[in-house]
Every structure is written in C-alpha cells, then in structure tokens.
Amino acid sequence: MNIVHGTWEPLPAARWEDGFLSGNGHHGALVFGDPNDERVVVTHHTLVRPNGGEKARPPQLATELPALQDRLLAGDLHAAESFTDGRDLQWVQPFHPAFQVRLRRPRADSRGYRRSVDFTTGVTQAQCEGWSSRVFVSRADDVVVQRVEAADLVIGLDHRLPGAPDTLVVGQSIVRAGDGALLTLRVRHPDSDRRYTGITLVVPTGGRTALVPPGAHVTGAESVLLLTRVVRHTGELDTTPHTQALRELATGSEESYDRLLDRHTALHRTAYERVTLDLAADPAERALSGSELLARRGSPALLERLFAAGRYHLLSASGLFPPRLVGLWTGDWNTAWSGAFTNDANLNLQTASAAAAALPEVTAAHAALIQRQLSDWAENAHAVFGARGVVAPAHTDGDSGLTYHFSREYPLHLWTAGADWLLKPLVDHDETDGNRDPRTAHALAQVALFYEDFLTRTDEDGRLVVVPSYSPENRPANASWGAINAAMDLSAARHALLTAADYHPGPDADRWRALADRLPPHRINADGALAEWARPGLDDTYDHRHLSHLYGVWPLDEINPYDTPDLAAAAHRALELRGAENDSAHGHLHHALVAARLRDGERVAHALGQVLKGDFFHNSLMSAHYPNRDVYNADAAHTLPAVLIEMLVQSTPDRLVLLPALPTAYPKGRLLGIRTRFGAELDLAWSPQAATAVLRPTRSHRVELRTSSGTRPLDLVAGEDHVLALGAW
C-alpha cells in the first residue's frame, strides 16, 4: 500500500469513530480490526428510523403570504415569526446503523498487529500472528465482503449497538448452507410496517461449521468468506433471491474473494486515482500512522493524506445518495441532527470538489437525490408560497423532500435559495463534461418558474424584492430571522434565472433574463462589508458559523476580484469581520473556500489551521463537527480536498486561475488530473523557482489565463496538449 493513498494504525479501534471505513454509496462498513472480538458495523443509506417525519407535510401557508409580505415591507421586523401553522419542530427521520457482524475467537496473543485501509481498493485489513481480516464493500456487486483467516471463529449478527431502541422487534435465524451457514437478522420498527433484513452467507474453505443459534462456529478452516447485504422493506421479505445472489457470488470460495475484489477494484480504483496531490512531504512522515501524523499538524504529509482520505471517503459514501452529515457510517443510533442531508450548507460543502476532482460518481449521486425529490419540491412551492416550480427543503432524510423541519429560531421553510444551491454542482458538472443533462435543464426551468410567481413585490425604486427572505442560519442584529433581500437569496435568484435562460434559449429565456435584471444590487454596509441583507436598515450579525451571504463569491462567480473588484473588496471585508461562533468545521472550511476565491492565501492557511490544530480528525481520518473530536461528522473530511484544489486551481467556462491562494507553507508540489469547467484536464506543478501546467482540452475554446504575473488569452484546441511554463512563483 502506498502510504499516501492509505493509512494505518498499530492498535485496533477502541471507539467506533476510529474504525476504518469502506463503502460503495449503498452499503457501508465500519471496521474495528480487533483480532479477538472483531466487529464490522454495517450501514445502508436507506435506513432511517420512523419518528413522525415519514407522515409530515409542508405547512399550508400560501394564502397568508401576501399579508406577511405587506407587514415586512411596512417595517414589521418580527412579522415572519407568526408565519407558521403552529406545529412543533419535527426532525427528519434519523439515519441509523443496521447491525454489526461480530467475529469472536479464543483470546490469543496479538503480536505483530497492524490495521490499515487502502484508499485505492477500499480494502480495510487487520492482521497479527494467527489471524487476519480483510473487508471491502463491492461497488460492482453491492455486497459487504470479508475474508478471515483464523483457526476458531464464532460468527453472529448483532443489532445491539449504542442507542438501539429497546422496542425494536428482532428475529434471527441460522440455516446450513453447503459447508457453511446462512445468518439472517430481521428488524421491525415498533408501530410501523418499516423493516430491514440483514443476510450474511458464511462460506468456509475446509474445516467444520457448527450451527450455534443465533450464529455459527467455524473451526479448522483455511479461511472464511462472509458476504453481507441489507434490504429495507415493508411487510415480509422473501430472502430467497438475495440468498441465491450471495451463493452465486461465493461460487468457488477460495477464488471468489479475489474475483469479487477485482470486479470492485476496476470501478473504485479507476475513480479514486483520477486525481492526486503531492506536497513533496518528508518520506519519513509519510510512513507514520494516521494518529502520529495527526499530531504533526503543520506537516505537508498530513495534508496529503487528508486530501487522499477525503476523496476516498467521499467516493465511498456516494452512490444511491450523496454523503449524509455522517457520510455513510455510524456506530450509534443517536446520530446528531438525524444524520440527515443538510442542504443549507453541509451537503454542498461536502461535494464541493466533485467536478474539479474528477468524481462524477459523486455528482451522479447528488443528482439522483434531487431527481427523486423534485415532485416534493413542487409541493413545497405550492403549499408555502402558492407558486409553480420548486423549492428545496433545508433538511431531508432521503425519503422525503418535503419542507417540514422548521421552527421560530430556524424558519427554514422561508428559505428559497436552496434549489439553486443544490443544482449548482450539476451545472458545474455539465460545464466540465461539455454536455447539458436534460434533467438538470428541466429542474432549472422549474426553479425559474418559481421565481416568476414569487418575485412580484417591488421597492420604491421599482426593483424586485425577495420577501420573505432568510439567510441560513443567521438573523439581522436588529430583526427577526425572516427578513427582506438576504444576499444569498438575491444571488441565487439571479443565478437561477440566468442559468435557466442559458439552458432554454427562446422566449422563456428573454423573460427570465428580464426578471433577473430587475433584482436589486448587493449593499455595502457602513463597515465597508458586503451586507448579509441588502435591505437598508437591517444590521449584520458577524459572529456566525454560516457564510451564506458570500454565496456570490463561492460557489458562484458573481463576485470576483477580476470583474467586480469593488464588490470583491467588500466581500473580503465581510470575511475579515466574520467570527467562527461555535467553531464548526464546516464554518472554517467554508471560510477557506471563500478566501481562496478572493486570493487570500494566508486566510486560507489560517482557516485550515483552525481545523488541523483543533483536533477535528479521528484516527480513521473521518472528522468531527466540533473541536476535540466532538460529534462524528463528515464535513471537514469531505470538504478539505475542495479547499486544497481551490487554493491551487480555479476555473469558470471562460477563465483559468492558477495558484490564486497558495499558502507559503506549501512551496512545492503537484496536483494531477484536475478537471476544468472549460473542458480540459489539468496537471499543475510548482516550486519556488517555477510553475508548470499541462492542459489536455477535450474541446476547442479561448479562455482567460490569470497568474501572479498577469493576464493573457489562451487558445485551446481539442486533443492538443498545451504546456504553460509560468516561471518563478
């Protein structure tokens, strides 16, 4: 294993948070690596616990909207607090683990112990004298695969993980299957028809298998192959097709592990190896265990490994859905914030690197979630705003895209920018790929239709007014949460209308562009900062983890140092004034992404330092939400690669910016395989003496090249490599 593309530890995981991870975007495996009591926690993206959210609908408030708009425009700064149907806060259904596959053997010496995970294959491995275990989750066959070598092994399925409700209805069975056994675990949520079933096929090579309900006891085998799947369902499940599928995968057990691994690796390795980062780290530091490296917080080797781990975990969590707040993994039923898809910041931050880092698999998962929920988005628009088109929710469990999670302090049902925010990565992908997905085009048209119906009020200058307006998850210092003309809402409405027009030339496009032109400009406040609310009289609240008002800087290209220098300066001032509030990882890295767009390398370095020095990473290299590894959360792990890419390479359909925000701490390195939004693959190398870029365009185009030495046009021809020698940096 290339240690840049993997990590290792000298001891088993004592906490589930430190377990090494594997996944295929459907199933996940969290592996402890204990030779005497091995536990593999199995998860599945669809497993959410019924809590009332499965029956919740959006509030029917459309008839009350005009009165609310009247009050807000008349100066009632607290009017939106009564824009509710009086319901209590309803969380979306919480994500939870399925069970753990538990393997016990007689306690023995663990000399020579080591556990590792290989990012290029997705295989977690643990071994010591007399024992070894390898686990991966197949991207080709959608099965958790484990191969164990041990002389004496008791195998069982155990749902009793931390926080598991005592009221679960659980049944287990074991039957002989050839020379091995078939273990089945059936779980039903109380007072619900919601169920899931776990199936593990145990296939020994040699030895003897005894049925010891509810598990199996294997002795004297050369090795044991375990194949596991989880199925969510309602009503009784006929497990025969699933059992038969596992039997077919296990044919020729001694060779089947290698065959399954080869099939999986062909897909996983191809995706993972498209992009690599080399910061010329010390080879001795590269060889350190993850826990040792995490203690060297300024080390380039640490950033190399976190970049690699972030891409690995992001890919592994993306398939059926994009990553949740916890990616695809949890060892506890009590997941913070329901382990949901949190759309007003976290999901887009986690997937921010997908287009540039050549992970279309992530974008496809993101798109699948959106397409599955568009009809719910339409219901939100109609119920809350009386409008055509679509409005995205701020939270979803994957089952429902309806807006029902809101409260007085977090009036998330007022947030109208979500659809544009969530569709932006799909637009980035289309620009990178050079083809416009008709599904994205349809969704954009639906967003534009919403704005046609919603943007009807004007101010004294005849400009359109976004009312009500909400800036996640902040409020003006002198007003309530629901206000007027939040900067994010203005940027999102303008971007959605203009992008929809680009995708749909013709009369609709003319109408949407005209509507966008009537939106008000951003406001610069008395501090010289871009105001979070463009409406005069609404004061900024600076100490907050969210940077929603800088949406025009990142991820949009609306505000930048080249085309809008005055607004960029005001955005930079807003960034300087922004506090970190509760030190959430997503806040620090969002700050870094905006700073990179504004060419402030030292501010990028400071924000990265807050995360690296704040003890946010577990030994698994999965991250936490708060410092000191508090609350398991994938934001930092998945977002960090995007930050490193943005400080080195930025692109739009017509512009390439090289090394815009490189911190002085990383004077030498290579970034290979980056995709640009004008359709070229890019390799970049830099040192104190020189920088070189190689572009491999897939389509002919003229772009503007920006470097520290100036600006010039760059004519690219499809199929012809273009080498840029940039001189000293």
pLDDT digits (tens, 9 = 90+) for 191-224: 899 999 999 999 999 999 999 999 999 999 999 9
* Listed residue (422, 350, 426) closest to 391, CA to CA: 422
* Rounded-to-integer distance, Cα 729 and Cα 661, Å: 12
pLDDT over 90 (residue 727): no
Q: Considering all CA atoms of the chain, what is the largest pairwise distance in Å, rounded to the nearest integer?
A: 85
Pick the CATH number of 3-48+97-236 from 1.10.940.10, 2.70.98.50, 1.20.120.330, 1.25.40.10: 2.70.98.50
Fold of 53-60+67-92+317-579: Glycosyltransferase (1.50.10)
Q: Please state the domain extents for the chain.
A: 3-48+97-236, 53-60+67-92+317-579
Per-residue pLDDT at 110: 86
Q: b vs e for 41-78, b when ≥16 Cβ sit within 10 Å of the residue's Cβ?
A: bbbbbbbbbbbebeebebbebeebbeebbebbbeeebe
pLDDT digits (tens, 9 = 90+) for 585-610: 999 999 999 999 999 999 999 999 99
Confidence class of residue 729 from pLDDT cuts 50, 70 and 90?
low
Give the type of residue at 139: R
* Listed residue (397, 382, 319) closest to 28, CA to CA: 319
For residue 558, give both structure tokens: 């609306």
Per-residue pLDDT at 109: 85
Per-residue pLDDT at 108: 85
- Mean pLDDT, residues 97-120: 95
Confidence class of residue 392 from pLDDT cuts 50, 70 and 90?
very high
Confidence class of residue 40 from pLDDT cuts 50, 70 and 90?
very high
Helix (H) or strand (E) holding 385: helix 360-385
For residues 172 and 179, is the Cβ–Cβ distance under 8 A? no
* Rounded-to-integer distance, Cα 306 and Cα 317, Å: 16
pLDDT over 90 (residue 728): no
pLDDT over 60 (residue 25): yes
pLDDT digits (tens, 9 = 90+) for 484-500: 999 999 999 999 999 99
pLDDT digits (tens, 9 = 90+) for 510-560: 999 999 999 999 999 999 999 999 999 999 999 999 999 999 999 999 999
- Mean pLDDT, residues 665-671: 95
| Phi/psi at 467 (5° precision) | -150, 125
Helix (H) or strand (E) holding 219: strand 215-219
3-state secondary structure at position 59: coil
For residues 714 and 694, is the Cβ–Cβ distance under 8 A? no
pTM metric for this prediction: 0.97
pLDDT over 80 (residue 391): yes
- Look-up: residue for tokens 């997905």? 437
pLDDT over 80 (residue 655): yes
* Rounded-to-integer distance, Cα 630 and Cα 617, Å: 10
Pairing of strands 630-632, 669-675: unpaired
Per-residue pLDDT at 251: 85
- Mean pLDDT, residues 621-637: 98
| Phi/psi at 10 (5° precision) | -85, -5
For residues 339 and 53, is the Cβ–Cβ distance under 8 A? no
- Mean pLDDT, residues 443-468: 97
* Listed residue (515, 367, 403, 368) closest to 455, CA to CA: 515
* Rounded-to-integer distance, Cα 165 and Cα 588, Å: 35
- Mean pLDDT, residues 114-129: 98
